[in-house]
Amino acid sequence: MQLIGQFDSPFVRRVGIALTLYGMKFQHLPFSTFGDSDRFVDKNPLRRVPTLVLAGGEALIDSGAILDHLDEVHGRESALIAPSGPARRAALHRIALATGTAEKAVSFFYAKLFGAPLDPMFVARSEGQIVAGLTALDVECAQRTSAW
């Protein structure tokens, strides 16, 4: 199994952490989404990471879909996320806050890197969304009462 992508990506990190905690052996290919995307475009036409290549060559894309597969292989009852019910809904809410914040941060980073001078309204909105996401995540994590 090969995990494509660098660990500066929060989405690659969440897959790498799950693989490690599940004790699944994998080869890490730290290809850059920009400089190295020709090396994995046959596995992911979007040229995005993470991309997980299974032993038979099948490629899984998008961290949520990859984690769904890893949970299934590891066993849904002993997965890192509760299998059903309120605990699962609460976890999915925390995950949506975390991945949503990361998506905002990544797109804001790309806009600053490649975009024309940014509209101050867009900058303020993006920064506000990122800070609000992180703050909400802190609050939800502090309120956790279960092992999940």
| Sign of the dihedral defined by the CA atoms of residues 46, 40, 9, 91, in that order | positive
Residue 24 or 46: which CB sits closer to ligand GSH? 46
Is residue 133 at the binding interface for ligand GSH, with CB under 6 A as the rule?
no
| Binding piece for ligand GSH, criterion CB under 6 A, among 21-29, 60-68, 69-77, 88-96 | 60-68
Residue 86 or 92: which CB sits closer to ligand GSH? 92
> At its nearest, how many Å lie between ligand GSH and the CB of residue 147?
25
- CA proximity to 106, closest of 90, 129, 124: 129
Residue 50 or 133: which CB sits closer to ligand GSH? 50
Is residue 13 at the binding interface for ligand GSH, with CB under 6 A as the rule?
no
Question: Do 51 and 44 contact (CB within 8 A), yes or no?
Answer: yes
Question: Do 94 and 141 contact (CB within 8 A), yes or no?
Answer: yes
Is residue 63 at the binding interface for ligand GSH, with CB under 6 A as the rule?
yes
> How far is Cα 111 from Cα 122, in angstroms, rounded to an integer?
10
51, β-bridge pairs: 4, 61
Is residue 11 at the binding interface for ligand GSH, with CB under 6 A as the rule?
yes
Residue 96 or 118: which CB sits closer to ligand GSH? 96
> At its nearest, how many Å lie between ligand GSH and the CB of residue 69?
13
Residues 6+ apart with CB under 8 A from 72: none
Residue type, 42: D
Positions touching ligand GSH (CB under 6 A) are: 9, 11, 33, 47-50, 62-64, 106
